[in-house]
Amino acid sequence: MSRFSIREASLRDASRILEIYAPYITDTAITFEYEVPSLTEFEERMERIRKRFPYLVCEEDGLVIGYAYADTYMIRAAYDWCVDLSVYVDREKRNCGAGTLLYKALLALLKEMHIQNAYAVITGCNERSLDFHRKLGFETFAVFKNTGYKHGTWLDVTWMEYFLGEHEEKPKPVIWAPDLPALQRAQIIKQVTEETV
């Protein structure tokens, strides 16, 4: 049985999630954000995302140690079958399997929503994340040179893609996450957690 549990995030988790995210902003170029957002701003981001997409947390012994979510890839309607993914794990808990479990649960939910394409946008120097995504089946399709500037350095950005299913001539309409029954979402998360041991 997995030592971790995955569940959907709520606003009660926002403070802890922000605590996990903040060092990535202040100490790394993994995110291109410069300033740590206020808790209120972060809660507003979470609420905006959760209106359409899954937002998950991973707990170990009742403590949130990581989170992952999908977000809008592009705003035009034709892009509705595409998402941009993010995953962050407490820097003291990396390489423990939490990120893999979060992503597998996230991808399973997205597939149920009829999402077709999942994208990861990764700072070129972030070899850990590049390897992580490769192991999960993501493939690089573009590298944008000197795209971001942070901590006194110009940084490349790598785009990776993962297809969740066949691209049919007439795709099924996307079902936004809140429109999937809560029990169905919970069952998908439970099944992935039990399979990923």
Extents of the domains making up the chain: 5-195
Residue 175 falls in which region: left (phi positive, over 0), alpha (psi -120 to 50) or beta: beta
pTM: 0.95
Question: Residues 3-28: what's their mean pLDDT?
Answer: 97
pLDDT for 1 beyond 60: no
Q: How far lies 11's CA from each of 16, 40, 64, 129, in Å?
A: 10, 10, 13, 26
* Percent of the chain residues past pLDDT 90, beyond the cut: 94
- Whole-angstrom distance, CA of residue 8 vs CA of residue 109: 11
Domain 5-195 has CATH 3.40.630.30: yes
